[in-house]
Amino acid sequence: MIQKIRLFGDEVLRKTAEPITPEDPKAAQVVQDLLDTLGANEEFALAAPQIGYSYRIFIINPIWIEDEDKRTPMVFINPELLEYEGEQFMLEGCLSFPEIYEKVKRAQIVKFRAQDLHGKWKNYTGRELFARAAQHENDHLDGILFVDRISSIRRKLLHGKLKKMASTTKNGVNVG
Ligand SMILES: [Zn+2]
């Protein structure tokens, strides 16, 4: 089911998400809702807290695969980021912050592992966009948002906008 995207100011985005047993039917439901909601939006990655579920799950549509027919959204349950290499500094956006794009420094390569819906652990090496998405989405599971990772000067410049956004967000519904 398509769920409403939780916006900055919604407390669920600041919670540390709970691990979940992949075989738990709840996990399958969260994954389905993530897939449905991602499909209805224009971003390519989404974490469970962004649709109101405080569980350690995110999905990434591998848009770096050129042939769209060969893209299947990847599901990561209970991910653990293990190794970071290099640096990249690029504009980033987030569905929970409509129309805000800021440069964020991330590792160029990230090695991580995660479970699939059958509970099987798989290892991944994410590079560039994949690395960036894995770090951004994994942060969501720890209640960390991309505006926490921008320079303090940029954050000061955004302060008024973010304050306004938080004050108009009530229980995930943008009423402003
Ligand atoms: Zn995000």
**What angle is formed at CA 172 by the lines to CA 171 and CA 176, rounded to 5 degrees?**
100
pTM of the model: 0.93
Q: Cα of 126 to ligand 1 centre, how many Å?
A: 17
Is the pLDDT at 176 greater than 70? The verdict is: no
Is the pLDDT at 149 greater than 70? The verdict is: yes
Least confident of 63-77, 106-120, 137-151: 63-77
- Domains identified in the chain and CATH numbers: 11-174 (3.90.45.10)
What average pLDDT score do residues 145-156 get? Answer: 93
User: pLDDT tens across 12-26, in order?
Assistant: 999 999 999 999 999
What average pLDDT score do residues 21-34 get? Answer: 97
Cα separation, 134 vs 56, whole angstroms: 12
116-122 contacts, C-beta under 8 A, 24 or more apart: 116/22, 116/75, 116/77, 117/22, 117/23, 117/27, 117/28, 117/31, 117/75, 117/77, 118/22, 118/23, 119/21, 119/22, 119/23
Is the pLDDT at 54 greater than 50? The verdict is: yes
Q: Cα of 165 to ligand 1 centre, how many Å?
A: 15
42, 80, 128, 137: which one is catalytic? 137
What average pLDDT score do residues 30-38 get? Answer: 96
CA-CA-CA-CA torsion sign (43, 136, 12, 112):
positive
Residue 114's pLDDT is what?
Answer: 98
Query: Does 43 qualify as catalytic in the annotation?
Result: no
Q: Cα of 95 to ligand 1 centre, how many Å?
A: 6
Q: Cα of 146 to ligand 1 centre, how many Å?
A: 7
Query: What mean pLDDT is reported for the chain?
Result: 93
DSSP state of 45: E
126 SS3 class: strand
Q: Cα of 24 to ligand 1 centre, how many Å?
A: 25
